[in-house]
Homo-oligomer: A and B are copies of this chain.
């Protein structure tokens, strides 16, 4: 039920096209996965997501565990049925959220995690960001919750250290992540044997911003021989250059035959650079989050709809864009909706931004197929893609 097949590998790049088979259908890679943290991609309906061509979406273990609770979702028939989404689903393990949301400080602050999170070899004690109640996650618990949610792909429980941690701390966190991965795999196999569930577990590479740690971590995670390998702890405050350097240290040690998933990335230019380095899967809140602040993407970068200059602009968000928003409404009208805090405004820009990124990935897949990927990348970079950063 779970298979990955490479369909095209162009010369001069590590990019590849593939097909990832899951119990809920096939996914064409490279793929961007919209984030539906609390079992909904913010502002959008199921029909809109399908219309956008979203092949797979994400849910989040940490949030769904706290509310409404994984047992309730299991009782309702699992996450797919409960949210009425019958395409593939992936759940993040909650590791990232436990460390970032509950520590009550900016994720990339220049110190090691203290605050309300207590980590030991066995697991993590944390306080809920909702009500301060105490909870304890172990690798086993994170896997059990994800089995209750029942996504197609689940993630190992890892420790994602802040970007500016010491080398010593990065190494400790990495070692812990490796020990936890063994326990995740064991728990996962135990549950699979018990229930026969068709769920794939991915491991996560850590190692912070140290090349040798990234290499060590990649080798270890790869040696666990799971159906997919993810790269965590990047895009958390380091520079783009550092991110790509770490990626380059990691990728060669991850099996070519398995999908590689770079977590929490990113902008259009990030996707292009990382696909070029051999990444197959991405997720990021960026296109949906910036949309809710009124920022929309075009080929020329990021723009804010609240800008006075759009007041009388009868053109769509982006010329020749095929999304429902651009086919239906003008910048002038959408700007008005934003000024008035009307919900339709949030929806319209969310649709446009997701279309922009999903369509961009589709173009990337086509260029890989047609052996024109490197040229496409060169031309895109000429357009000053850095403007897509906020």
Contacts and interface: CB of A to CB of B under 8 A. Distances in A.
A179 interface: no
A127 to B, nearest CB: 19
Interface residues of A, number: 37
A333 interface: yes
A340 B77 CA distance: 20
Nearest to A292: B343
B343 A347 contact: yes
A43 B347 CA distance: 8
Interface in A19-51: 38-40, 42-47
A369 interface: no
Interface stretch (A67-75, A224-232, A251-259): A67-75
A50 to B, nearest CB: 11
A342 interface: yes
Interface in A59-112: 67-68, 72, 75-77, 82-84
Nearest to A348: B45
Given A76-B332, A312-B72, A330-B82, A344 B45 contact: yes
Given A84-B329, A329-B84, A333-B82, A343 B43 contact: yes
A190 B91 CA distance: 65
A40 B84 contact: no
Nearest to A332: B76
Interface in A245-281: none
A311 interface: yes
Contact of A330 (B45, B67, B76, B312): B76
Contacts of A40: 337, 340, 342, 344
Contacts of A44: 344
Contacts of A343: 42-43, 343, 346-347
Nearest to A344: B40
A68 B311 contact: yes
B76 A342 contact: no
B68 A342 contact: no
A339 B72 CA distance: 14
Nearest to A328: B84
Contacts of A346: 343
A366 interface: no
Contacts of A363: none
A174 B267 CA distance: 61
A314 interface: yes
Contacts of A39: 333, 336
5 contacts: A38-B340, A42-B343, A43-B344, A45-B348, A67-B336
Given A67-B336, A76-B332, A342 B84 contact: no
Contacts of A47: 324
Of the candidates A45, A82, A324, the one having the most CB atoms from chain B within 10 angstroms of its own CB is A45
A30 to B, nearest CB: 28
A356 to B, nearest CB: 19
